[in-house]
Structure 1
Amino acid sequence: MSAEGCGYEIIDPAFRELILPNAWVEKLYGGCRWAEGPVYFTDGDFLVWSDIPNNRMMRWVPDLGVSVFRQFSNYSNGNTRDRQGRLVSCEQGGRRVTRTQPDGTIEVIADQYQGKRLNSPNDVVVASDDSIWFTDPTYGIHSDYEGYKAQSEIGACYVYRWDAHSRELTVVADDFLKPNGLAFSPDESQLYIADTGATHTENGPHHIRVFDVVDGVTLANGRVFAEIDPGLADGFRLDVQGNVWTSAGDGVHCYSPAGKLLGKIKIPEVVANVTFGGPKRNRLFIAATSSIYAVYVGVAGAQRP
């Protein structure tokens, strides 16, 4: 049965080709305080996500249900996997980006820039050259609810690239109010980055920008890709066709590569983030406030970690 309050809204006929009329949204779990950062482990066939205020990470396994993946997660937020299958996480409490080795050892990737502590890393992606790109707004240091209240040492909110070979951290975007979710296009020629500055600034940004990726190192030609209404583009992922599936206030919004809103998957809670998973990567997992939802769709997620 479909989860109560869920459904589809067709805005452009092209959306019909991206959804399955006989597939319904399922509620897999409730009981989170703020579900975020879903990541699918295809090799193990399970989903991991952050429950930020509860300072834990959870795991869902098909037919087995939900268990605690990591207690005292340092208020982890966004998660992804690198090309070697290692978990990469943004820890708001530790104000750092970490990588979990196969033996469970947690390695610090970045926790400072030019001698100053990062704010509270939020979301993260890994490129094919093993570089790690992440956003660093101040949400985790605004209060003790999702981290530890503190002043920003850097005094700004940047988007960073960590080079896997030199281990150097560089700023790739410095003109965001609150950089948040980010994701590469399937061919990595473009990087999409959300600005959710509207959370703390009246009439602030609530859009996704897209940049050209130059030589896999720098960003250029930034422009607004889509304005999100209602809500914010807290987190998003792309499918193999280049469509953007993003969080919003009333569910998941799907945009074409040209930035046209095609349709919505209506969810009765504010959505924070999504990821594609399952053996065929054609199941969309939705982290929405207190719950995790899932729905099979008519397109596969881009083949990224």
Structure 2
Amino acid sequence: MFGESNFRLVGSGLSCPEGPVVEDDGSVLVCEVRGAALVRVSPGGSRTVVANLPSGANGAAIGPDGAAYVATNGSFTFADVEGITHITGLIEDWVGGALYRVDRTTGEVRELFTESEGQHLGSLNDVVFDADGGAYIADTTSGLLHYAVPAERRIGVAVSDVVTPNGVGLSPDGSRLYVSETFTGRLRTFEVVGPGKLLPLPDVFQHPAAAQDDTEGIDLQQSKQFWDGLAVDGEGNLVVADLASSGVRVVSPLGAELAFFETPERDPYVTCVAFGGPDGRTAYVTSGGRGRLYAIDNWPFEGGRVNFQP
């Protein structure tokens, strides 16, 4: 199951979009990495700003109170080359990202966390809530997964032995947490033994183009990039944004490659996936380098849904 024919353009003119979140009316909240904003793309494709953030918005999820929880990266530098926005590095005075609560109606922004266990948060990425109201947050530059409980103003490190974690997603029953590592090409698996408590399991998959060499000492500016964000559909399949191949790769929880969908125009920054629609069978895909939001209609597997999705 390979091809590009399923992609439908929903919105364009976005400022390096990532971290889509689907609302109940069919609108999609999108994080703008370059625009440093949380924006709403209507079903008709119009863009409105929900909230401006102090630095680049990378990942978001809706929490148990209905607010959007947005992870920021501390700001990158960019270059535009042949119609594609490229991330070229961290800004000179970079100090790290933070987690914010954004009221989806009023746009009110409240800073929640800038540190975890006494260490400043790094460049944050995907966010996923468990059924208990806690959120797993990927910290790409620090190589950590944090577990935050916003209602209790509590955050801590859940896992420290990850390399450039980017996407995070939970299995439909909440028993497994999946993590995509950008610069190793690994799809990591952890058993969830309690809120914020994880035990490592064997990797579920590795990107077919990833080199099988030692990943220690990775240079964030030089390494080839394989994965970005991920989602999990209703069958438990991992749906991963594939930077190296400009599309979305589907991997079963047992590690079998099931499908690949290539974007209509090549983009080395296909950044994230989220499910929506009445039956969860519309997959929304952010094409960050080209500033587009696509939809894949009639998802060929069971539809996906995350905790607290409206």
TM-score by length of 1: 0.79
Cα distance change, pair 269–171 in 1 and its aligned pair in 2 (3 A):
same
Shift of 1:122: 1.4
Cα distance change, pair 168–51 in 1 and its aligned pair in 2 (3 A):
closer
1:216 aligns with 2:209: no
1:237 alignment partner, one of 231, 237, 240: 231
1:59 alignment partner, one of 29, 40, 46: 40
Measure, in 1, the Cα distance between the counterparts of 2:45 and 2:117: 46
Shift of 1:269: 2.1
Measure, in 2, the Cα distance between the counterparts of 1:57 and 1:104: 9
Is the contact between residue 175 and residue 192 of structure 2 (CA under 8 Å) also seen in structure 1? yes
Measure, in 2, the Cα distance between the counterparts of 1:215 and 1:90: 23
Measure, in 2, the Cα distance between the counterparts of 1:209 and 1:132: 18
Query: Which deviates the most, 123-132 or 293-302?
Result: 293-302
Is the contact between residue 228 and residue 241 of structure 2 (CA under 8 Å) also seen in structure 1? yes
1:228 alignment partner, one of 207, 214, 224: 207
Q: Partner of 1:37: helix, strand, or coil? A: strand
1:301 alignment partner, one of 290, 299, 304: 304
More strand by share: 2
Measure, in 2, the Cα distance between the counterparts of 1:75 and 1:224: 30
Shift of 1:215: 2.1
Shift of 1:241: 0.9
Shift of 1:103: 4.2
Render the CA deviation track for 1:5-33: whole Å, top value 9, x for unaligned: xxx518xxxxxxxxxx9x73112233345
Is the contact between residue 144 and residue 160 of structure 2 (CA under 8 Å) also seen in structure 1? yes
Paired position in structure 2 for 1:16: none
Paired position in structure 2 for 1:189: 175
Measure, in 2, the Cα distance between the counterparts of 1:39 and 1:247: 15
Measure, in 1, the Cα distance between the counterparts of 2:45 and 2:70: 24
Is the contact between residue 240 and residue 303 of structure 1 (CA under 8 Å) also seen in structure 2? no
Question: Is there any run of 5+ residues in structure 1 with no aligned partner, and where?
Answer: 1-7, 11-20, 139-155, 199-204
Measure, in 2, the Cα distance between the counterparts of 1:180 and 1:169: 18
1:246 aligns with 2:248: no
Identity fraction in percent: 24
Cα distance change, pair 70–109 in 1 and its aligned pair in 2 (3 A):
closer
2:267 alignment partner, one of 259, 266, 269: 269
Is the contact between residue 15 and residue 33 of structure 2 (CA under 8 Å) also seen in structure 1? yes
- Map 1:43-122 to 2 at 5 A: 44-63=25-44, 65-72=46-53, 74-93=55-74, 95-101=97-103, 103-122=106-125
Cα distance change, pair 303–157 in 1 and its aligned pair in 2 (3 A):
closer
Shift of 1:279: 2.6
Render the CA deviation track for 1:280-305: whole Å, top value 9, x for unaligned: 22111000122211111133113433
Render the CA deviation track for 1:148-175: whole Å, top value 9, x for unaligned: xxxxxxxx42111113564332211111
Measure, in 2, the Cα distance between the counterparts of 1:282 and 1:73: 34
Measure, in 2, the Cα distance between the counterparts of 1:283 and 1:100: 25
Is the contact between residue 51 and residue 108 of structure 2 (CA under 8 Å) also seen in structure 1? no
TM-score by length of 2: 0.77
Paired position in structure 2 for 1:9: 2
User: Which letter maps to 2:192?
Assistant: V
Is the contact between residue 247 and residue 272 of structure 1 (CA under 8 Å) also seen in structure 2? yes
Is the contact between residue 160 and residue 170 of structure 1 (CA under 8 Å) also seen in structure 2? yes
Is the contact between residue 246 and residue 274 of structure 1 (CA under 8 Å) also seen in structure 2? yes
Q: Partner of 1:123: helix, strand, or coil? A: strand
Render the CA deviation track for 1:34-68: whole Å, top value 9, x for unaligned: 221111112x3210112212323332111363333
Q: Partner of 2:30: helix, strand, or coil? A: strand
Query: Which deviates the most, 179-188 or 82-91?
Result: 82-91
Q: Partner of 1:240: helix, strand, or coil? A: coil
Measure, in 1, the Cα distance between the counterparts of 2:192 and 2:285: 28
Paired position in structure 2 for 1:123: 126
User: Which letter maps to 1:261?
Assistant: E
Q: Partner of 1:104: helix, strand, or coil? A: coil
Question: Is there any run of 5+ residues in structure 2 with no aligned partner, and where?
Answer: 75-95, 210-224
Q: How many residues are aligned here?
A: 262
Q: Partner of 2:227: helix, strand, or coil? A: coil
Paired position in structure 2 for 1:141: none
Cα distance change, pair 229–247 in 1 and its aligned pair in 2 (3 A):
farther
RMSD: 2.2
- Map 1:137-152 to 2 at 5 A: 137-138=140-141
